[in-house]
């Protein structure tokens, strides 16, 4: 963190004598808990719904996490008031917002938890030490994540789809009374951004006659970036550049787990051969909306791809550790595999057949049961938890914002002057 954060423990809005020093008087304090960059991006979708309310002071903190790399820089770019974790857990807030579960029990605040991806698909990872004491659960639904000392830790659990209530009820029924279904912000932003598709394509330097292939990779052992390296190479080397543009969209944990310098180094040769690499600091929704074809793995970005209207193909990878009842497992059960060693252009064209579109649409429909309603429902939930009425001066139905224009990593020219209308 910055030197000011490390040296200055006490900050005006959380001092006991706040009235002496604060310029504005606020009645509620909200803590935004950021475990990882991905979690931080998701929780911002909620906290922005408090914009314009002078009664609310928002503070941020970085929670302990194995993927905390990049969080400090993420918070510094926001320009918010950042509290050290040890101070955050000793300070009372009216509400804390998080999109992760680690160490939440240490907070002295009611905690609202959002999912940090598209639904709940992955199983809780196995620990390398110790004996299995109970069956593993789904990440976000598992009892070991939600219960501590016999009590449910979050005071509110946000879900995107009604079917998730049944899935949560099977694993942790004690959590159902604090659960609310409000939809999915990323699904809504994808739909709001689709009219600006041409601008996103232009920002990625995809020509009018080029098919844009967006390659999505999650992080970890089962990811495309680990096991599908040959797919990326073959796409860039084999596809005619006059007909195709290939762009890579990597999970923040890939960048922050290995460092930006290292990822740029690994991809430098492919970049010189024509690969566009989307910056980790860019909005990832735009590249998805711009895609003519999406090639991915078991990550959330691939699942969100089903909501864009583009065909989704999967790299031929080892089996993922997924909840078999999840939307991602359903997608993996039928989505075509992209086979290396065979002509790729033919596969990309063949698997764009409209006959499989209904199956993609069915999976996309499992992402949210409240399409287009996240902003309104989430803001209502926030104000109920804060025990405040929404300000009369704010519109009744918050607008879902379109994605910002995508940016490429240095070395890939980015056009200027493009503005989303």
Domain range for residue 158?
Answer: 3-185+371-386
User: Is 398 part of a structural domain of the chain?
Assistant: no
Please tell me the predicted confidence (pLDDT) of residue 383: 96
Looking at the structure, tell me whether residues 45 and 178 fall in a common domain. Answer: yes
User: Is 62 part of a structural domain of the chain?
Assistant: yes
User: Is 418 part of a structural domain of the chain?
Assistant: no
Looking at the structure, tell me whether residues 97 and 219 fall in a common domain. Answer: no
If one counts the domains in the chain, the total is: 2
Looking at the structure, tell me whether residues 163 and 224 fall in a common domain. Answer: no
Looking at the structure, tell me whether residues 175 and 311 fall in a common domain. Answer: no
Looking at the structure, tell me whether residues 219 and 92 fall in a common domain. Answer: no
Helix ranges, 67-176 (H):
71-78, 85-88, 143-146, 163-171
The residue behind tokens 């942790």 is 172
User: Is 159 part of a structural domain of the chain?
Assistant: yes
Looking at the structure, tell me whether residues 294 and 173 fall in a common domain. Answer: no
Give the number of other CB atoms < 10 A from CB of residue 149.
6
User: Is 265 part of a structural domain of the chain?
Assistant: yes
Question: Which element (helix H / strand E) includes 345?
Answer: helix 344-350
Reading the block at residue 401, the tokens are: 């914002």
Q: What is the CATH classification number for the domain harbouring 228?
A: 3.40.50.2000
Contact 181, 371 (CB under 8 A): no
Please tell me the predicted confidence (pLDDT) of residue 129: 56
Contact 326, 121 (CB under 8 A): yes
Looking at the structure, tell me whether residues 210 and 323 fall in a common domain. Answer: yes
Helix ranges, 104-150 (H):
143-146
What's the Cα-to-Cα distance from 143 to each of 163, 231, 365, rounded to whole Å? Answer: 18, 38, 27
Give the predicted TM-score (pTM) of the model.
Answer: 0.90
Residues of the chain with pLDDT below 70 are 1-10, 12, 14-24, 125-136, 351-355, 393-397, 411-421
User: Is 399 part of a structural domain of the chain?
Assistant: no
* Residue 142 to residue 152: CA distance in whole angstroms: 11
Looking at the structure, tell me whether residues 99 and 216 fall in a common domain. Answer: no
* Residue 139 to residue 6: CA distance in whole angstroms: 33
β-sheet with 244-250: strand ranges across: 276-277, 244-250, 211-217, 293-296, 312-315, 337-338
User: Is 333 part of a structural domain of the chain?
Assistant: yes
Looking at the structure, tell me whether residues 265 and 377 fall in a common domain. Answer: no
Q: In this structure, what are the phi and psi dihedrals at residue 181, rounded to the nearest 5 degrees?
A: -100, 115
C-alpha dihedral, 251 to 257 to 263 to 265, nearest 10°: 180
Using only C-alpha atoms, the chain has a radius of gyration, in whole angstroms, of 22
Looking at the structure, tell me whether residues 284 and 311 fall in a common domain. Answer: yes
Please tell me the predicted confidence (pLDDT) of residue 240: 94
Spell out where 126-218 has E strands.
Answer: 147-148, 151-152, 156-159, 179-181, 211-217
First and final C-alpha spacing in the chain: 36
- Cβ-based burial of 85 (10 A; exposed 0-12, middle 13-18, buried ≥19): middle
* Residues whose CB is less than 8 angstroms from the CB of residue 200 and which lie 6 or more positions away in sequence, other chains included: 193, 286, 287, 289, 290, 403, 405, 406
β-strands 211-217, 244-250 pairing:
parallel
Looking at the structure, tell me whether residues 34 and 56 fall in a common domain. Answer: yes
* Residue 41 to residue 254: CA distance in whole angstroms: 15
Please tell me the predicted confidence (pLDDT) of residue 45: 95
Looking at the structure, tell me whether residues 206 and 226 fall in a common domain. Answer: yes
User: Is 139 part of a structural domain of the chain?
Assistant: yes
Contact 244, 350 (CB under 8 A): no
């Amino acid at each position: 963190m910055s030197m000011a954060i490390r040296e200055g423990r006490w900050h005006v809005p959380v001092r006991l004598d706040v009235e002496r020093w604060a310029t504005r008087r606020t009645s509620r304090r909200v803590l935004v808990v950021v475990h990882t960059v991905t979690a931080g991006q998701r929780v911002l979708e909620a906290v922005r719904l408090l914009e314009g309310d002078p009664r609310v002071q928002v503070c941020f903190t970085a929670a302990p996490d194995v993927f905390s790399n990049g969080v400090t820089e993420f918070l510094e770019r926001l320009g918010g008031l950042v509290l050290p974790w040890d101070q955050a857990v000793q300070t009372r807030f009216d509400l804390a917002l998080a999109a992760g579960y680690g160490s939440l029990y240490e907070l002295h605040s009611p905690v609202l938890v959002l999912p940090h991806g598209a639904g709940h698909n992955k199983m809780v990872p196995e620990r390398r030490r110790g004996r299995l004491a109970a069956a593993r659960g789904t990440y976000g639904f598992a009892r070991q994540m939600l219960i501590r000392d016999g009590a449910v830790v979050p005071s509110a659990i946000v879900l995107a789809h009604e079917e998730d209530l049944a899935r949560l009820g099977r694993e942790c029924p004690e959590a159902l009374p604090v659960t609310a279904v409000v939809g999915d912000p990323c699904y809504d932003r994808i739909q709001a951004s689709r009219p600006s598709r041409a601008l996103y394509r232009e920002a990625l330097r995809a020509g009018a006659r080029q098919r844009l292939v967006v390659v999505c990779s999650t992080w970890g052992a089962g990811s495309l970036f680990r096991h599908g390296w040959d797919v990326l190479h073959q796409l860039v080397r084999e596809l005619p550049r006059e007909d195709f543009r290939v762009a890579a969209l990597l999970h923040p944990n890939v960048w922050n787990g290995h460092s930006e310098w290292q990822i740029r180094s690994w991809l430098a040769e492919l970049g010189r051969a024509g690969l566009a690499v989307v910056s980790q600091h860019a909005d990832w929704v735009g590249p998805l909306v711009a895609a003519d074809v999406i090639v991915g793995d078991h990550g959330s970005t691939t699942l969100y791809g089903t909501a864009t209207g583009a065909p989704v193909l999967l790299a031929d990878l080892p089996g993922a550790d997924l909840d078999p009842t999840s939307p991602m497992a359903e997608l993996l059960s039928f989505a075509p595999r992209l086979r290396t060693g065979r002509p790729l252009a033919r596969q990309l064209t063949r698997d764009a057949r409209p006959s499989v579109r209904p199956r993609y649409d069915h999976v996309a429909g499992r992402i949210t049961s409240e399409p287009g309603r996240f902003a309104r429902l989430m803001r209502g939930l926030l104000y109920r938890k804060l025990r405040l009425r929404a300000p009369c001066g704010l519109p009744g139905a918050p607008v879902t914002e379109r994605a910002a224009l995508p940016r490429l990593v240095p070395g890939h020219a980015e056009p200027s002057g493009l503005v989303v209308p």
